[in-house]
Amino acid sequence: MKINQIYVNLPVKDVQKTKEFWTNLGFATNEEMSNDKSVCVVMNENIYVMFLTEESFQTFSERPLPNGDTTQVLVAISLETREEVDQVVNAAVANGATQHEEPQDYGWMYHNSFWDINGHGWNVMFADPS
């Protein structure tokens, strides 16, 4: 079996602010899959994040949305260089995100992270196992 694409679905309060946040970080959106209730952020040609209004998100699950300072998921993404990792995290913080923890350097792997404007956790990393 081979997975062709991945769509991560996350609830948000404001789709337009979320779209602005992610485009300010340098990510494109798929306008054909976006509307006033969702924005599709393109991570690469096979990975997408669907940010859905809380109301729209609730149509996909009968479970209640978390409220308060709870963590349901941390999304980890890998980039090509350490510099890109810091660029994305710094741009996120400059656009309203908060730093999750201090960067971690393990020699062969570098890791930085942030909580986005909707409270979703993002771990951004670069690894070179060679």
Local structure of 83: helix, strand or coil: helix
Tokens of 6: 């991945």
pLDDT, position 43: 96
The model's pTM? 0.88
pLDDT tens series, the chain, 130 aa: 888 999 999 999 999 999 999 999 999 999 999 999 999 999 999 999 999 999 999 999 888 887 766 667 789 999 999 999 999 999 999 999 999 899 999 999 999 999 999 999 999 999 998 8
pLDDT, position 35: 96
Residues 6+ apart with CB under 8 A from 52: 9, 10, 11, 12, 15, 37, 38, 60
Q: What is the CATH number of domain 69-129?
A: 3.10.180.10
| Strand order from edge to edge, sheet including 6-12 | 6-12, 47-53, 38-44, 28-29
Residues of the chain with CATH 3.10.180.10: 1-62, 69-129
- Give the CATH class of 1-62: alpha beta
